[in-house]
Amino acid sequence: MQIPRSVPGQTLELSGATTITTGKFVTITSTATLDTNGGSNSGTFFVTGGTLKSTRDTFTNNSGATLYATAATLTFGGDGVQNNDGLQNHGTLTLVDTTVNGDVHSAAGSSVAIAGAVTFNGLVSGAGNFTGSGSAIFAGGYSPGDSPALVTHAGNLTFDSTNRLIMEIGGLARGTGYDALDVEGLLTFGGELDLDFINGFTASLGDSFDLFDWGNATGSFSLLNLPDLSDGLAWDFSQLYSTGTLSVTAIPEPSTYAALTGVAALGCVLLRRRKSSRSPQESARRRS
């Protein structure tokens, strides 16, 4: 079903799907609501101060299409699991000061342009990059990539206290072997971090994973769920909030504890010397 080009300040509930064909556009204006049974956009869809609701079936923003939402509410279906429901984005989402409820999958080659503050209350997944200088706030889950991928955020990225960040590790190459995020602005850690081994991968002594790069960073995760390692190995997350890196280290033998204690003072001296030799840029990065 194709709806009129402009929906005035009313609620329009459709029993069928909404279809916007190539070269056409639809505008949902302020105070108006479109409640549709799924659908697809191959043209241009404007939601300006209004509400788009599609909880009964999948809504697809096709390649080459744009969905613009300004001071709007977008509500989609989904059960918090990455699959083919909710909003499937293969084109461009341009979101300004908007709230997005339900699941969003933004596939590789798509993009999400953020201006102002945009809150996602459902699971966001996929390898699509985030452009724009605004702030993306994830409150309902985030799983970057469809397989391991490097996803960039040109603005700020916040993991809310209710968020669960799911990242996969299937190798040692950043962005192809394991998931990674590059945030040009401020990265705010919060909520839960879940790491999952995939494709039969297991980490070995000395392996390291540069999960996050950022312009500035603050906060911390409230919970780290990390996969089990082989006997004698442990996760080292001491650099997680300074360099964005997790690594695998050996668990010291009990007989070495006394020796480690004995050299603690020397270690402090060496640490001070090493810090003083860092470049100003590296020191600023670590303080962030």
pLDDT digits (tens, 9 = 90+) for 248-271: 999 987 655 444 444 444 333 333
Report whether pLDDT(286) > 50.
no
Distance from C-alpha of 235 to C-alpha of 200, rounded to nearest angstrom: 18
Quick one: average pLDDT of 206-232?
98
Q: Mean pLDDT in the chain?
A: 87
* Ranges 22-31, 48-57, 146-155, 262-271: which has the least confidence: 262-271
The per-residue pLDDT for 79 is 80
Please give the average per-residue pLDDT across 207-212, as a whole number.
98
Bridge-based pairing state of the strands 212-219 and 245-250: unpaired
- Tell me the pTM: 0.84
Tokens of 152: 């960039």
Query: Bridge-partner residues for 6, per DSSP?
Result: 27
Q: Provide long-range contacts, Cβ within 8 A and 24+ apart, for 112-121.
A: 112/136, 114/154, 114/155
Q: Does residue 230 carry a pLDDT above 60?
A: yes
The burial class, CB within 10 Å (0-12 / 13-18 / 19+), for 23 is exposed
Contact 242, 216 (CB under 8 A): no
Domain layout of the chain by residue ranges: 6-287
- Counted residue by residue, the chain has a size of 288
Tens digits of residue pLDDT in 186-199: 999 999 999 999 99
Is the pLDDT assigned to residue 284 strictly greater than 90?
no
Residue 240, pLDDT > 60, answer: yes
